[in-house]
Copies of this chain bind each other. A is one copy, B any other.
Amino acid sequence: MGNAPELIIGISALRNGLIDILKGSIAGSVLGTLLFGLGITIISGGLKKPVQTFDRDMVSINSALLMLATFGLVIPAVFTFSSNVNQEISLEISIVLLLIYLASMADTIMTSRSPVGRKGIEAALKEKGEEQPEVAEVFPNWSRNTALGILAAVAVALALVSDLLTGSLQPAADAMGLTPVFAGVFLLAMVGNIPQYMNSVSFAYKSRMTLALSINLGATTQLALMVAPLLVIAGSLMGLHMNLLFSKFELVGIILSVIIARSLIADNTSTWLEGVMLVGVYAMLGVGFFYAPAR
């Protein structure tokens, strides 16, 4: 359920007609997680131990899925830019992405191995005997009904807050002299991902790097395979023209950041300097988005 907030914020943004900001926040969430989130996670791990190692095989399964999911996500925009044809294929692509997501769910159920969820990773790590199970520490010991009740309450609260948030985003951006692109890509995406970043930074600081990296990679995969396609389909049902047509700069940013993330994981070690460089690339893209014109 880790992506429920993003879905709720997204639908709230759709209802308020903030489609450009919403697309920006999807692109921004990918860039933010793969550059900023991964960066501060690796720095945090580096503060504890100069060279952190992680389980390449487990992180690697995540990152293969990440690459496939993200390349799927950008196909509509690539198609529009590369062929001079007035045909929009976001809805078709979203349906294929969602089918792939269902296949990944089926895989999780069949094999009890969850390549994109935290629980599955923890179970697998436990099996390998590499890390102590700290699940009890992390998750409170609620009964099923209590948990569902709390979830429902949180969802309602979140929906209210989201409406306030997305409703006030445009005026706030205007007041600060920021473009909607920058507001979506950097501000909205950042706000939505803070809890996830805190989580992964704290795991990294406990030297649980495999888990910390997988949180970031898994969240991006779910964003590309589930959240973004559902928002396109929801937009289409609501009669709104939500699509996956990112700007060229967003496109190049997404593709480069996925290649970078994969690349860092290919060797199963990380140093704080790699983290600094990831945050640096994020800052450099930020300079670009600050000056980028409105869509």
Contacts and interface: CB of A to CB of B under 8 A. Distances in A.
Interface of A: 50, 56-57, 60-61, 63-65, 67-69, 71-72, 75, 78-79, 81-85, 87, 89, 92-93, 96-97, 99-100, 103-104, 107, 111, 113, 115, 247-249, 251-252, 256, 259-260, 262-264, 266-267, 269, 271-274, 276-278, 280-281, 283-285, 287-288, 291-293
Contacts of A280: 68, 72, 96-97, 99-100
Contacts of A104: 273
Contact of A291 (B72, B89, B287): B89
A65 B277 contact: yes
Contacts of A273: 65, 103-104, 107, 115
Contacts of A251: 82
B260 A81 contact: no
7 contacts: A67-B259, A71-B281, A72-B284, A83-B248, A83-B293, A89-B288, A103-B273
B75 A248 contact: no
Given A107-B272, A252-B78, A264-B64, A287 B100 contact: no
B260 A71 contact: yes
Given A277-B65, A281-B68, A82 B293 contact: no
Contacts of A281: 68, 71-72, 75
Nearest to A282: B96
Interface secondary structure of A, over-half rule: helix
Given A72-B281, A81-B248, A89-B287, 14 more contacts: A50-B111, A65-B277, A72-B277, A72-B280, A78-B252, A79-B292, A82-B247, A83-B293, A84-B293, A87-B291, A92-B284, A93-B284, A104-B273, A262-B266
This chain's copy number in the assembly: 3
Contacts of A278: 68
A67 to B, nearest CB: 5
Nearest to A283: B96
B68 A247 contact: no
Nearest to A285: B75
Nearest to A181: B83
Contacts of A249: 78-79, 82-83
Contacts of A267: 56-57, 60-61, 64
Contacts of A89: 287-288, 291
Nearest to A84: B293
